[in-house]
Amino acid sequence: EIVLTQSPATLSLSPGERATLSCRASQSVSRYLAWYQQKPGQAPRLLIYDASNRATGIPARFSGSGSVTDFTLTISSLEPEDFAVYYCQQRGNWPLTFGQGTKVEIK
Amino acid sequence: EVQLLESGGGLEQPGGSLRLSCAASGFTFSSHAIGWVRQAPGKGLEWVSVISGSGSSTNHADSVKGRFTISRDNSKNTLYLQMNSLRAEDTAVYYCAKGVADRYYFDFWGQGTLVTVSS
């Protein structure tokens, strides 16, 4: 099983700041990685798939990069609605796996 | 508009069974993989099961393999999860999630149905 390790566990930032979230895979997943956002009481929302492709309707301030084992989600300038938990997910190998999440909180 | 509506959750005793359903609309159901992802209270996301658009291919997490079975009825635009031999650790909100075409990412999610396994 591919283990996805997200860091940091919590990121404390102010609106307008840049957020950089990391996801590291225990073995290669090529570029088969996605990022999701989840707010309290809501279902997750797909942000990025295949490492760098924004999903439909996702603002340009969200961007993804990386390949093989190291991936990054960047939020260029945090909006108030971006404070949430972010998960990465790989589809490079069975079973599908998620990271444990990074919480982006207001500083 | 894509809609996914889960049903069938509830309280069940350890060792019991439940069948979850997910009614889909707003997209060509048979053209998309679709699956179940669960979230235990206060915890992260855990993939459970996924099925291809045609239904010919299925995969399950090791934690549920041999106990849970995913299936779909493309004539009814409905996804199912038969859950047998339930355990306390199966307690979670179960989300139905639509795949991105034939890729196993999930671009639309239902609101979830809560399954509680307790005596």
pLDDT in tens, A25-71: 999 999 999 999 999 999 999 999 999 999 999 999 999 999 999 99
Q: Please tell me the predicted confidence (pLDDT) of residue B101.
A: 79
Mutation site for B-interface testing, chosen from A32, A46, A87 by largest number of B Cβ within 10 Å = A46
Helix/strand/coil for A78: coil
Mutation site for B-interface testing, chosen from A30, A96, A98, A103 by largest number of B Cβ within 10 Å = A96
Q: Please tell me the predicted confidence (pLDDT) of residue A54.
A: 97
Backbone angles phi, psi at A60, to 5 degrees: -70, -15
Average pLDDT over residues A11-28: 97
Spans in chain B with pLDDT lower than 50: none
Q: Please tell me the predicted confidence (pLDDT) of residue A68.
A: 96
Average pLDDT over residues A11-22: 97
Does the CB of B109 have a partner CB in chain A at under 8 Å? yes
Q: Are strands A45-49 and A33-38 parallel, antiparallel or unpaired?
A: antiparallel
Nearest-CA residue of chain A relative to B111?
A43
Containing H/E element for A38? strand A33-38
